[in-house]
Amino acid sequence: MARWLSLLILLLCWTRVSAAPPKPLLWQVSDEDNSVYMLGSFHMLKAEDYPLAAAVNQAFDAAGKVYFEVAPEELNNPASVQAMMKTGLIEGGGTLKQILKTDTWKRLQHYCQTHALPIESFQAMKPWLAALTIANLAVTQAGFLPDLGLDKHYMDMAAIARKDTAGLETLSQQVGVFAQMAPKDQELFLNQTLKDMQNPAQLEQLHQRWRNGDAEGLLQLLSQDSINDTPAFYRRLNRDRNRVWLPQISAFLRENTQGDALVVVGSLHLLGADGLIELLKAQGFRVVRLH
């Protein structure tokens, strides 16, 4: 499951440049008078992933409005972020050790010992927040930085260009996907994260397939565990959110007769039968992959 966790999670540095830009996961969705460009993001990237392919920057330049999963002004509001993170803390003075089964706690202890992490820092966290924290730390230690993520890059670019921006959901709705997990699913999520973070090669595979624009290969890696292990969580994380976002995107195409838009979301949201690309095709819009 956590193989694609870096696509959920949420220092521009130009000292190194890759030999070739990443091949974008980019589609143009159109009706008779305008287009929405759909861009699959990797939420944490490396300096060598820049500059981006010309097609991506051209889509940004053409867009009068840029949509993200959560609006930049909400993500950049410390009070909003702090309020949402409180939902991941254990109420009533309990501890994570008290919540977890003995085997899970021992597994967490071992992980913290081998990665020089103070286990005390997790005691106030619910299992889902502990899992996200561990994944974020592991991804950062592997050299992927949130300030280099594709979302952050275009949030900064939109601010510089003074483009209109919007969120497809609120931060509360996004965090609610995790906060509303059943206790047993939270523990399963933590166990799977601890297992997956032991193998950094999985993250490198994800990154390389994203760089290669390999939609099929990326979907295979991202979904092979999540659908089978926790199908209800996968539906809430991906399918259900896509279906909430879909009317907003289709409304822009149908109601806005002037100007285009760019939508920047985690890559999994665009891929497969549950993905936004297939859902938009089913509504009759013209869809073309841009290379």
Q: Are 206 and 4 in contact (CB under 8 A)?
A: yes
| DSSP run (H or E) holding 107 | helix 102-114
Cα–Cα distance, 267 to 286 (Å, whole number): 20
What pLDDT does 1 receive?
Answer: 41
Both tokens of residue 211?
């760089």
Cα–Cα distance, 29 to 4 (Å, whole number): 25
Both tokens of residue 104?
């899970």
Both tokens of residue 9?
């999670």
Both tokens of residue 5?
């966790």
From the list 244, 237, 205, 234, the residue with the least C-alpha distance to 221 is 205
What pLDDT does 126 receive?
Answer: 97
Give the pLDDT confidence of 25-41 residue by residue, as tens digits: 999 999 999 999 999 99
Q: Domains of the chain: which residue ranges? A: 2-290
| DSSP run (H or E) holding 94 | none
pTM: 0.90
What pLDDT does 245 receive?
Answer: 98
| DSSP run (H or E) holding 56 | helix 54-62
Cα–Cα distance, 197 to 223 (Å, whole number): 16
Cα–Cα distance, 146 to 125 (Å, whole number): 22
Q: Looking at the DSSP assignment, which residues form a beta bridge with residue 27?
A: 38, 289
DSSP letter assigned to residue 247: H
Q: How many residues does the chain have?
A: 291
Low-confidence ranges of the chain (pLDDT < 50): 1-18
User: For the chain, how far is it from start to end, CA to CA, in angstroms?
Assistant: 29
Please give the radius of gyration of the chain, using alpha carbons only, rounded to the nearest integer: 19
Both tokens of residue 89?
């803390």
Helix, strand, coil percentages for the chain (3-state, nearest 5): 60, 15, 25
